[in-house]
Structure 1
Amino acid sequence: MLGLLQLTVFVVGAVLLGLEIVGSRVLAPYFGSSIFVWGSLISTFMAGLAVGYAAGGWVADRRPRLVVMAMLILISGVLVAILPLTAAPINRAIVSVDFGPRLNPLLATVVLFFLPSIFMGTISPYAIKLAASSLATIGNTAGSMYAISTAGSIAGSLLTAFYLIQAIGVRSILLSLGATLIALALVLLIVGQLWRRRADKLVATGGVLALLLFGVSPLATARTLYEKDSLYHRIIVTEDDHVRTLRFDRLRQSAMDLQDPDRMVFHYTQYLHLALVFHEDPKRALFIGLGGGSAPRRFHKDYPGLAIDAAELDPEVVNVAKRYFLFQETERMKVQAVDGRIFINKTPHRYDMVFLDAYYADAIPFHLATREFLQELKRKLTPSGIVVTNIIGSVRGADSKLFRSIWKTVQTEFPQLYVFPVDGVANIIVIATQAQERLVKQEVLRRAQELETQRKVHFPIERFAHSYVLEPIPVDDVPVLTDDYAPVDGLLHFSAW
């Protein structure tokens, strides 16, 4: 009986942490993957466990029977197994009402995961009650059970994060976790009736069955060419009429016109060519963030003398760009699947242009926005090298704090900054140069017109240059971002609760 109880707390611990890890992927398509999402998940599971521990001890003292514990596990399994059906409509309902970037994920995690975590939390105190043979050894029994449960949690966390998310997808993981608990509950129910006849073989069979149930295959969705959970995103490629779109979680990242693959579907990518105003004859450029690869692919086509490197954190994104978005490496264009900051520190090259396009609308990699990162980046620029950053936000008003904080941070390392809000969308192009003299707006317009006239640039960059921001950017109320202090999530979402 003791071995069966130990197996039980191990499996329940594994499922619990597996559910918490995959929970982030359940929420990400609707609420992103910011610190608010993770804070909501951790808090909800901890609260559920606290309630479960208390409730499990109370019930165990009054009905210390194996069949009762089996029913608690069975209920947990059913609650987890129905998540693939309930999660999407619940998340959509919360998004449609919109309680704000903090309350949205918190409410979703409570609705989806609080009850399963309560019922799973009841199991460890219940197992301790059933395993305890005397008060003299209750401490050892409790310690052993919690140690085994924690070991299960570690195993479930690693298995889910390192293998399952990449191997079988979110829906299949949820079904498998639920099925594992249901199978374990059925084994316990059988053993509860037959334990006097020694049910060791049944226990072993139940464990094998539970493991086999992890192999449920994911379902395909209509109009979707590709869908996979990588280490960093839920990657989705869809096709609507003649436009193919790449999404990370719920956000569009790149698009390609199938009838004209060289057309820049996202307007902000055309504004990137304003870089030529500030460095007319670049020899080497770096793109941090690849997406579908449309921007580096167009630079590769338009500027034959330009060598291009790209650093993309997610190797699966690189594969998708090559498979679905016509991105091809050549002698002049290479890509590495590596974090942009790691690439900067390792590359032997120096760049005339660096394009930083790795920020999202709902979260940004803070380590690519700090003063220390800019210092490292600056060391890899040529003397006239420039940095072009795409920021999603607003120059003024309630949603401008992130932009102004990044502006203030970049100002600490680069003497000249130029801001070009993209017409009609929330993108802001910031160009930082090392020049001591500032280019006035008329000079920027003149250079842009000259590049167009000489057909060195194939976009109407003179029109784009008219968005040049002349007004001072107020920065007194925002911090300089550093590796030690970079509250980017709060700056991004500060205006809503």
Structure 2
Amino acid sequence: MVTIDAFLNKITLLTSGNTIAKESDEYGNIIVTDSTKYRVLRFDGINEQSKMLKSDTCLPIHNYIKAMLMATAFTSSNTALVLGLGGGSLVRSLYALDSQLTLDVVELRSRVLSIAREYFSLPSSDKITYYINDAGDYLNNLSLPRYDLIFSDLYSAFTMDPLQGTERFLRLCLNKMHDHGWLVMNYHEVPKVGSSLYDALHRVFDEVLYCIVPSGNVVIYAAKKPHDSSLDEKKSQANQLLLQLGSNVDYLSRKINFLRCL
């Protein structure tokens, strides 16, 4: 009889090449696979947590990463916080866009950080600080600075961290943002009208946008204060940003819409 683990390992090999590293911690497995073009990070299961093009390590591959990066076009930014490292796709692209950006990165699992450094060309700079911490505990630190951008991508192997969908989390982020700042979240669905997250987003933030990416992920953009630019201007700015990164995918910027308050 074929075990579930053997089946998953076989699927992983068929879809992503050879396993070059596998470690475990109290949260589960951390698996790195390598093919001719790509290097992929997985936790348990076959879902890709991070993907890197080996010939251009700063180019974002997953559409949800591209959609998250579009937020950098919405406001001027000198400081950013990334909650959830994975293989460092977002961090590599942010650093490529602006090597002078002061960047704080929070990752729960120390082994994930070690593997990202060893296998995924994680940038090292005096402008970037990596923290091993729980995202909620980090945000509760009263001595933290304020940020222009906060990116939240909190996922385990199969599911989103429930913290990311709570009003408590939104308010913790709000308290760490400059007035012109944006919170950017990788979410699993468009918040339904009348849901707790839908209502909380509109209680906490003055402007809320979203973008549905082809994989089904939904990126939510929440502004602390209203911004002067129109939705069409934001779409144009976002598309120019993607072109700057070498990603000619204007269909993503066209999918930005208001999450309207009813």
The answer, yes or no, to whether TM exceeds 0.5 is yes
Alignment partner for residue 264 of structure 1, among 60, 69, 88?
A: 60
Cα distance, 1:402–1:237 mapped onto 2, change above 3 Å: farther
Alignment of 1:155-234 (within 5 A): 223-234=18-29
> Which residue number in structure 1 is paired with residue 253 of structure 2?
465
Cα distance, 1:326–1:414 mapped onto 2, change above 3 Å: same
Cα distance, 1:309–1:229 mapped onto 2, change above 3 Å: same
Cα distance, 1:362–1:450 mapped onto 2, change above 3 Å: closer
Alignment partner for residue 202 of structure 2, among 380, 394, 411?
A: 411
Scaled by the length of structure 1, the TM-score of the pair is 0.46
What code does the residue aligned with 2:257 have? V
Cα distance, 1:340–1:89 mapped onto 2, change above 3 Å: closer
Cα distance, 1:470–1:297 mapped onto 2, change above 3 Å: closer
Scaled by the length of structure 2, the TM-score of the pair is 0.84
> Which residue number in structure 2 is paired with residue 436 of structure 1?
226
Contact residue 288 and residue 311 of structure 1 kept, 8 A = yes
Cα distance, 1:320–1:86 mapped onto 2, change above 3 Å: same
User: Offset at 1:276?
Assistant: 2.4
- Could you tell me the percent identity over the aligned residues? 24
Higher RCO, Cα 8 Å, sep 6+: 2
Instruction: Flag the structure with larger Rg.
Output: 1
Matching of residue 316 in structure 1 with residue 111 in structure 2: yes
Contact residue 414 and residue 434 of structure 1 kept, 8 A = yes
Cα distance, 1:426–1:261 mapped onto 2, change above 3 Å: same
Contact residue 41 and residue 87 of structure 2 kept, 8 A = yes
Contact residue 284 and residue 351 of structure 1 kept, 8 A = yes
> Which residue number in structure 1 is paired with residue 83 of structure 2?
288
**Partner Cα distance (1:407, 1:367) in 2:** 15
**Structure 1 unmatched runs, 5+:** 1-84, 93-221, 475-497
User: Offset at 1:244?
Assistant: 0.9
What code does the residue aligned with 2:232 have? Q
User: Offset at 1:371?
Assistant: 0.9
**Partner Cα distance (2:153, 2:193) in 1:** 15
Tell me the alpha carbon deviations over residues 231-264 of structure 1, each in whole angstroms, 9 at most, x when there is no partner. Answer: 2121111112221110010121001112222222
**Structure 2 unmatched runs, 5+:** 9-16
**Partner Cα distance (2:228, 2:167) in 1:** 22
- Which region of structure 1 is more displaced relative to structure 2, 258-267 or 243-252? 258-267
Q: How many residues align?
A: 252
User: CA RMSD for the aligned pairs?
Assistant: 3.0
What code does the residue aligned with 1:369 have? G
User: Offset at 1:380?
Assistant: 1.0
**Partner Cα distance (1:303, 1:260) in 2:** 16
**Partner Cα distance (2:2, 2:261) in 1:** 46
Which structure shows the higher helix fraction? 1
> Which residue number in structure 2 is paired with residue 88 of structure 1?
4
Alignment partner for residue 331 of structure 1, among 126, 143, 153?
A: 126
What code does the residue aligned with 1:466 have? R
